[in-house]
Chain A
Amino acid sequence: MGLEAKLNGNSFFTTTVDALTEWARKNSVWPMPMGISCCAIEMMASGDPKYDIARFGSEVMRFTPRQCDLMIVAGTVTYKMSHVVRKIYDQMPDPKWVIAMGACTSSGGMYRSYPVVQGIDQFLPVDIYLAGCPPRPDNLLNALIQIQEKIGRTKARDFQDKPLPRLTVVQPNGEFLQNN
């Protein structure tokens, strides 16, 4: 960053914990590629060297929701599929964000008919709606930058106060232990 040139010996910076966590969080947004139909092709394109989503620290598309921060819902969500999308979203650890990529996910798009959910915000909290059918990869990168700006406004403690999920652990002696 150019700063390291000024540092010599045992130099140090002072900063706030908020600034540090925000910087770390927003530059390592790992996406969950929820590629359901044609928009997923453009999502893949944004990972290639030409558009290179790695410049923003988001090149690690994880195929397990447990390692992701950002769900990119790319494609037509039917009522039958909506339960799957929600289940995967619920498995992602907090904090998490959602991009509704494309006309279909944002509003049902051209599928104005009975099987397609007319906008995934009916069952998911959406952060960014992305216009286009399909949106170009640079548009997806723009959405990612917007998400980063949004993450930049969070504080370190913002996601600390959610109650832990109720878990049951079986002890070696066969007893059940509950965390709360």
Chain B
Amino acid sequence: MASPKELLEQRLNEKFSGENFIFNEHRNELTVSLDKKNIIAVCKYLKEEPELAFRLCEDITAVDWATRKNRFSVVYHIYSLKMNFRLALKASVDEKDCNIDSVSSVWNTANWHERETFDMYGIHFNNHPDLRRMYMPEEFEYHPLRKDFPLMGIPGSLSLPKNKN
């Protein structure tokens, strides 16, 4: 029987022929890099194809590479109970065109994970049902996990209650 890696490689290249996938295995963890325009189609396929069945979206987050050309990578950690196999998907997002399609139509869990990523990195998720901040107050203007955000924050950007006494 083909290993999950071989199966994935074969299926993805067959289904999305002509698209560029980069497979990278490190310490038995497989990462697939893909173009951000394919993200919904690929996720849907991975979830709904009975043999692959990546039914569980464990986490969505991002990496800020600061000086790289495509500044952010959005990372999806998904899991197939059927194959007992964990997969990471990576899509690059540029700072100027800082958006990617939301996969919350594929996995409902993605809703809050994407809100968190939006809050922390300022990446906009297109067609997200409710893209509000997760942790920081609504009126906060910055995105704290970006590399250019100072550790101690920006003075005055978060309000304190007024001391009345």
> Which residues of A are in contact with B by a Cβ distance under 8 Å?
79-80, 82-83, 85-87, 90, 112-115, 117, 122-125
| CA of A122 to CA of B155, assembled, Å | 14
Interface of B, helix, strand, loop or mixed by DSSP: loop
Beyond A79-B159, A82-B161, A115-B153, 4 additional pairs, beta carbon < 8 A: A79-B137, A79-B160, A115-B135, A117-B160
- Report chain A residues within 8 Å CB of B153: 113-115
Which residues of chain A are near B163, meaning CB under 8 Å?
122-125
A113: B residues at CB distance < 8 A = 151-153
Closest to B154 in A: A114
Could you tell me the distance between the alpha carbons of A49 and B40 in the complex, rounded to whole angstroms? 58
Q: CB < 8 Å: which of B137, B149, B154 contacts A80?
A: B137
- Residue in B137, B151, B152, B161 whose beta carbon sits within 8 Å of that of A86 in the complex: B161
List residues of chain A with CB within 8 A of the CB of B136.
Answer: 80, 115
A122 touches B160 (CB 8 A): yes
- Assuming the contacts A80-B136, A80-B137, A125-B165, asked whether A114 and B160 have C-beta atoms less than 8 A apart, the reply is no
Where the two chains meet, the residues of B that have a C-beta atom closer than 8 Å to any C-beta of A are: 135-137, 144, 149-154, 158-165
Contacts of A87 in B (CB 8 A): 161
- Give B161's nearest chain A residue, CB to CB: A86
User: Considering residues A90, A114, A117, A123, which has the most beta carbons from chain B within 10 angstroms of its beta carbon?
Assistant: A114
Contacts of B149 in A (CB 8 A): 114
Assembled-state Cα–Cα distance A177/B163 (Å)? 29
